[in-house]
A and B are shown apart, each in its own frame.
Chain A
């Protein structure tokens, strides 16, 4: 290709089909190289919503975010956890490098309050990351959150159940997580700049110490729970 044409193609206004979208906002590296490659800007989008669809709790949905959350802490950014389903456990978060000093947990009583809280946290510009567990989404609420994330330049993360995969969504990035024998499979359902068909396998052990300790030890024992174990 000749040099002048190459130069023209470098223009930021020109988008080529095989490129990822250029985002205006800087992205937040996920801490997983294989995932960063596939995400526009090379990481989690700031100033936009990320939806994480989880089939079952406890498969690594938080561990996937931990490196980025720790980085947010490093940059002295606040993070808000809105309506978490369980107790965010301080010792584990501190061990992962999240500064608890800049962590805010809000436990609203009603769904409407939870949506309001998430929107306020995103919009305030005070929180770099907002993690929210919200029920009964509709388009109007989602749009408000998206606008809030844009104006507050925050990374908004919504956790939803995998059954929502078929629904239309305003989120800039949608991931579905699936536990497999080889690790966590991340299906990118939607991203800015083209479709990805193949899931990416993420090795969570590289970040979290629980697994790093003994990666390939066979199970100690298999117990039949609860009655058999209790009686023996």
Chain B
């Protein structure tokens, strides 16, 4: 077993700030008793001299442009669930460490990701794409890894002996014990975990409670730890509040980019794909704008979604500035992962579905189609529009022109030399579009070959097609 612990030290801040690239001074406050204090602040705020623990009023006096948001534990938990969903791309064994951490069992999937370094690289780039800061550590026990990550020791430990040595140096304040116990440990001179371990076990249990010993044992792997794994919800719905109202497509795209990796991880965990995606832009006073993305085939590739989103956003007029975006995937469909090709790596075949999706966004759904023959004698009905890519095998008809005029043209004055015919077509009395015609292949004076007919009711002549 190898556990990767991810700690998100500034999660409370990032739930507000990650929707935008620009960072003004921002602080998160919490009510302690009857005064509110700053609990976290970003770099721009620190530069103004604002520190955690400061009263909000004092902080606002230091920076006029400071935005103070009340801490939102619900949003934090949602973000953590989103992160857990995203982490589903690496391993199915993802466990939440509330309120601000994740534990991933990666020992069983290292070879899939071609080694720990590669995996960590993917974690790093993925998290920075989503806008989260994090510290990480690997250890054979989940709690050991978590303590190391909390301490900010970015190490990867595989041997238990080494783990004990590393943990021994950590300060006791990292332990998940009540404040009084931590304070009294400090008072007896036990500043590090190593100090605690050197104390007689019976005495420690009597003075500080069994819970402390249990926690130490779990960290060291002497006690087993059963962790509950994260189960993804049945559908994906995430909202992201933007730090400031936006109305440019580029800013919306940036925010959507923060959410899409979570969706990809979620779909990976569920072995599913989406065929329809909804991006809802919430406005202040006017009804929300709903952007729908349709895919020809279920997909879970972020690049693809992003590409379509960019084009859809480019063609959408927003009625008002947007303060929150929501990304919904209500219906997910099972989608097996495609195996990578061993030999054709790098050679990219063009993707027709992608082309179809892009054309449909710009031209409209009806303007892009395939054609298929239909079993009908009437020429107008013998060819129909269908979904591009639909299979309709048919032997076809050699006696038909390549171009059909959508509306038959009355013949112009002049001479047509009839070559072959007549081919009599009488059909369609059942749906009111009955035809009674004699068809001929005719040669026009200018060398063109025409498909003409004589209407047997009116006796008029029409051109109906071109043998182009």
A125 in contact with B350 given A104-B356, A220-B421, A225-B416 (CB within 8 Å): yes
Assess the B467–A90 pair: CB atoms within 8 A: no
Query: Restricting to A71-129, which residues have a CB under 8 Å from any CB of B?
Result: 78, 84-96, 100-109, 113, 116-117, 120-121, 124-127
Assess the B467–A152 pair: CB atoms within 8 A: no
Assess the A225–B414 pair: CB atoms within 8 A: yes
Closest to A153 in B: B350
| A221 CA to B417 CA, complexed, in Å | 7
Closest to B466 in A: A58
Q: Which of A24-32, A135-143, A208-216 contacts B (4 or more CB under 8 A)?
A: A208-216
| A48 CA to B71 CA, complexed, in Å | 60
Assess the A93–B389 pair: CB atoms within 8 A: no
Assess the B392–A100 pair: CB atoms within 8 A: yes
Of A63, A113, A179, A225, the contact of B411 (CB 8 Å cutoff): A225
Closest to B465 in A: A89
Candidate in A84, A120, A231 with the most chain B CB atoms within 10 angstroms = A120
Q: Which of B51-59, B137-145, B398-406 contacts A (4 or more CB under 8 A)?
A: B398-406
Q: Which of B84-92, B318-326, B448-456 contacts A (4 or more CB under 8 A)?
A: B448-456
| A60 CA to B396 CA, complexed, in Å | 19
Q: Which of B148-156, B251-259, B363-371 contacts A (4 or more CB under 8 A)?
A: B363-371
| A229 CA to B458 CA, complexed, in Å | 11
| A126 CA to B418 CA, complexed, in Å | 42
| B-chain residues with CB within 8 Å of residue A85 when the two chains form the complex | 403
Assess the B468–A210 pair: CB atoms within 8 A: no
Q: Does B302 interact with chain A (Cβ within 8 Å)?
A: no
Query: Restricting to B331-370, which residues have a CB under 8 Å from any CB of A?
Result: 348-352, 354-356, 358-359, 362-364, 367-370
| B-chain residues with CB within 8 Å of residue A61 when the two chains form the complex | 468
Q: Which of B4-12, B171-179, B196-204, B439-447 contacts A (4 or more CB under 8 A)?
A: B439-447
| A56 CA to B467 CA, complexed, in Å | 12
Q: Does B390 interact with chain A (Cβ within 8 Å)?
A: yes
| A94 CA to B399 CA, complexed, in Å | 12
Report the minimal beta-carbon distance from B114 to chain A, rounded to whole angstroms: 28
Report the minimal beta-carbon distance from B355 to chain A, rounded to whole angstroms: 4
Q: Does B395 interact with chain A (Cβ within 8 Å)?
A: yes
Report the minimal beta-carbon distance from A124 to chain B, rounded to whole angstroms: 4
Q: Which of B18-26, B73-81, B380-388, B425-433 contacts A (4 or more CB under 8 A)?
A: B380-388
Of B388, B415, B444, the contact of A222 (CB 8 Å cutoff): B415
| A-chain residues with CB within 8 Å of residue B417 when the two chains form the complex | 219, 222
| A151 CA to B379 CA, complexed, in Å | 39
| A-chain residues with CB within 8 Å of residue B397 when the two chains form the complex | 91-92, 94-95
Assess the B447–A95 pair: CB atoms within 8 A: no
Closest to B363 in A: A108
A179 in contact with B446 given A124-B350, A125-B349, A230-B459 (CB within 8 Å): yes
Assess the A90–B368 pair: CB atoms within 8 A: no
Closest to B356 in A: A104
1/0 per position for A162-173, CB-CB distance to B under 8 A? Answer: 000000000000
| B-chain residues with CB within 8 Å of residue A225 when the two chains form the complex | 411-416, 461
| B-chain residues with CB within 8 Å of residue A102 when the two chains form the complex | 389
Of A109, A125, A219, the contact of B363 (CB 8 Å cutoff): A109
| A223 CA to B419 CA, complexed, in Å | 11
Assess the A57–B394 pair: CB atoms within 8 A: no
Assess the B382–A90 pair: CB atoms within 8 A: yes
Q: Does B420 interact with chain A (Cβ within 8 Å)?
A: yes
Assess the A58–B467 pair: CB atoms within 8 A: yes
| B-chain residues with CB within 8 Å of residue A101 when the two chains form the complex | 370, 389-393
Query: Restricting to B40-58, which residues have a CB under 8 Å from any CB of A?
Result: none
Candidate in B412, B419, B421 with the most chain A CB atoms within 10 angstroms = B419
Report the minimal beta-carbon distance from B362 to chain A, rounded to whole angstroms: 7
A58 in contact with B448 given A95-B396, A113-B363, A124-B355 (CB within 8 Å): yes
Report the minimal beta-carbon distance from A42 to chain B, rounded to whole angstroms: 25
Report the minimal beta-carbon distance from A169 to chain B, rounded to whole angstroms: 22
| A217 CA to B441 CA, complexed, in Å | 13
| A-chain residues with CB within 8 Å of residue B401 when the two chains form the complex | 89, 92, 210
| A102 CA to B71 CA, complexed, in Å | 55
Q: Does B107 interact with chain A (Cβ within 8 Å)?
A: no
Assess the A104–B368 pair: CB atoms within 8 A: yes
Report the minimal beta-carbon distance from B388 to chain A, rounded to whole angstroms: 5
| A135 CA to B379 CA, complexed, in Å | 29
Assess the A226–B395 pair: CB atoms within 8 A: no
| A-chain residues with CB within 8 Å of residue B99 when the two chains form the complex | none
Interface pairs (15), CB distance under 8 Å: A57-B403, A58-B449, A61-B468, A86-B403, A89-B379, A92-B400, A94-B397, A100-B370, A104-B355, A104-B368, A120-B359, A126-B355, A208-B398, A223-B415, A230-B458
The 8 A-B pairs with the shortest beta carbon distances in the complex, nearest first, are: A179-B447, A125-B350, A94-B396, A95-B396, A126-B350, A58-B448, A209-B398, A58-B466
Task: Give me the interface of A with B, judged by CB distance under 8 Å.
Answer: 55-63, 66, 78, 84-96, 100-109, 113, 116-117, 120-121, 124-127, 152, 178-180, 208-210, 213-214, 217, 219-227, 229-231
